[in-house]
């Protein structure tokens, strides 16, 4: 069964450093998302991406964040200058355009900012 | 704005007994509702959804959920719990009235309910 994959599984970085989180969505999906889950809190929407552009973003997704689909398979989330409060589990998800509405989630990348 | 409430942080149930995990929602129009399960150190796995049609929807692993519009609820149920059902369960909602032409399907999640099935 096809699944969303994410790399790395765990990223440790120093405050102020740039990080790039990588995702490979399910191959025939056209909508892509990033969510995050701070430890002990609810899963929060960050951004959705369709047709090579951001279609919606939350208040969390400020100028420090960017997303890109650099090729036909990868979908990346970049945080330019990490803060301590960016420490969280980041989930990538994808969904088909026409059939169904469920989003399929990857296993997540745990980001730790020191 | 759409929102989801899961009133119980934890639900404990004996193996073989029926289980219920509660969820209520708030949206401006007719909701699209979802249940996801998260096992330790794993991502979110889709269990089931309600879009339209029958109020009782069946999903993976023997789970089902009942959409109740008057009570704005979408409780997750299973007739006979297994120890392997122990996990974190998330209810999520999408408000199609909030849909924008560019094609966003933002999900709003509840805070999650930890289900423990006791042998």
Sketch the domain layout of chain A as residue ranges.
Answer: 1-6+33-96
Q: Left (φ > 0), alpha (ψ -120 to 50) or beta: where does A67 sit?
A: beta
Confidence tier at A62 by pLDDT (50, 70, 90) = very high
Q: What is the pLDDT of residue B103?
A: 45
Q: What is the pLDDT of residue A28?
A: 86
CATH classification number, A1-6+33-96, choose in 3.40.718.10, 3.30.750.24, 2.60.40.10, 3.90.180.10: 2.60.40.10
Q: What is the pLDDT of residue A20?
A: 97
* Residues A105, B44: C-beta atoms closer than 8 Å: yes
Q: What is the pLDDT of residue A100?
A: 55
Task: Give how far Cα B70 sits from Cα of A9, A80, B56, B66, B96, Å.
Answer: 42, 46, 14, 12, 18
CATH at residue B60: 2.60.40.10
Q: Is B44 on the interface with A (CB under 8 A)?
A: yes
Q: What is the pLDDT of residue A41?
A: 87
What mean pLDDT do residues A26-42 have? Answer: 91
**Domain residue limits at B12:** 3-118
Lowest mean pLDDT among A75-89, B5-19, B40-54, B77-91: B40-54
Chain B closest-CA separation from residue A78 CA (Å):
20
Q: What is the pLDDT of residue B40?
A: 82
Which residues, in sequence order, are CB contacts of B22 under 8 Å at separation 6+?
B6, B7, B8, B73, B75, B113
* Residues B90, A106: C-beta atoms closer than 8 Å: no
**Most confident range, picked from A8-22, A68-82, B41-55:** A8-22
Q: What is the pLDDT of residue B102?
A: 46
What mean pLDDT do residues A33-59 have? Answer: 91
For A86, the 3-state DSSP assignment is helix
What is the number of domains present in chain B? 1
Q: What is the pLDDT of residue B104?
A: 54
Tell me how far apart the alpha carbons of residues B119 and B114 are, in angstroms, rounded to a whole number.
16
- What is the tens place of the pLDDT at every residue in A74-112? 999 999 999 999 999 999 999 986 445 789 999 999 999
Tell me how far apart the alpha carbons of residues B56 and B65 are, in angstroms, rounded to a whole number.
6
Q: Which residue of A has its CA nearest to B110?
A: A42
Residues of A near B (Cβ–Cβ under 8 Å) read 4, 6, 31, 33, 35, 41-45, 48, 50-51, 53, 55-56, 58, 91, 93, 95, 97, 100-108
Q: What is the pLDDT of residue A109?
A: 96
Q: What is the pLDDT of residue B41?
A: 75
- What is the tens place of the pLDDT at every residue in B53-88? 899 999 999 999 999 999 999 999 999 999 999 999
Q: What is the pLDDT of residue B100?
A: 55
- Check the CA dihedral B13-B39-A103-A53 and report its sign: positive
Confidence tier at B112 by pLDDT (50, 70, 90) = very high
């Amino acid at each position: 069964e096809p699944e969303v994959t994410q790399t790395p599984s765990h990223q440790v970085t120093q405050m102020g450093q740039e990080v790039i989180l990588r995702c490979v969505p399910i191959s025939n999906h056209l909508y892509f998302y990033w969510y995050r889950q701070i430890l002990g809190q609810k899963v929060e929407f960050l951004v959705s991406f369709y047709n090579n552009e951001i279609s919606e973003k939350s208040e969390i997704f400020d100028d420090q964040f960017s997303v890109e689909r650099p090729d036909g398979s990868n979908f990346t989330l970049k945080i330019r200058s990490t803060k301590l409060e960016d420490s969280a589990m980041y989930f990538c998800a994808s969904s088909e355009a026409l059939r169904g509405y469920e989003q399929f989630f990857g296993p997540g990348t745990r980001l730790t900012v020191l | 704005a759409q929102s989801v409430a899961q009133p119980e942080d934890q639900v404990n149930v004996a193996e073989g007994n029926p289980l219920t995990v509660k969820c209520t929602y708030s949206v401006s129009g007719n909701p699209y509702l979802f249940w996801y399960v998260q096992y330790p150190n794993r991502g979110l796995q889709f269990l089931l959804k309600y879009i339209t049609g029958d109020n009782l929807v069946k999903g993976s692993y023997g789970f089902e959920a009942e959409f109740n519009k008057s009570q704005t609820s979408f409780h997750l149920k299973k007739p006979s719990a297994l120890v392997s059902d122990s996990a974190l369960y998330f209810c999520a909602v999408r408000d199609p009235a909030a849909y924008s032409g560019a094609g966003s399907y933002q999900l709003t999640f509840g805070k999650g309910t930890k289900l423990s099935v006791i042998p």
